[in-house]
Amino acid sequence: MLAVVEIAGQQFEVEQNKKLVVPLLEGNPGDTVEFDNILLAKEGNDIKIGLPSIKGKVTAKILDHGKGDRVLVFHKKRRKGHRKLNGHRTKFTSIEITNIAI
């Protein structure tokens, strides 16, 4: 079974036992989380499209939390002597899909 689920404002294609990296979620490693905003589901040749969503839920297990690669943002205005350097590391959560129930 394949499903498209909205997680933290982004759409992800999920399958059973698939591991994903998603934006930071609340919870500790080992906890389970449920997502009920299913936008599309496919099983074999049967496709269900949500208007706006399908009833059901996707269950996942939180594996760990982490930070992404460093991103540097540099601003400069020529001939003005203005230079500014900002950076950030986006936080993420690794999850594993355990069950898809439609």
Q: Where along the chain do its domains lie?
A: 2-101
**Residue 59 contacts residue 98 (beta carbons within 8 Å):** yes
What's the CA gap between 101 and 62, in Å, rounded?
18
What are the start-end ranges of the H helices in the chain? none
Of all residues in the chain, the percent with pLDDT exceeding 70 is 100
Q: How far is CA 101 from CA 42, 58, 77, in A?
A: 12, 6, 54
Q: Is the peptide bond before 23 cis (omega within 30 degrees of 0)?
A: no
Across the range 52-81, mean pLDDT stands at 96
Query: What pTM was computed for the model?
Result: 0.84
**Which pLDDT tens digit goes with each residue over 9-31?**
999 999 999 999 999 999 999 99
Average pLDDT, the chain: 96
Of all residues in the chain, the percent with pLDDT exceeding 90 is 99
Confidence (pLDDT) at 24: 97
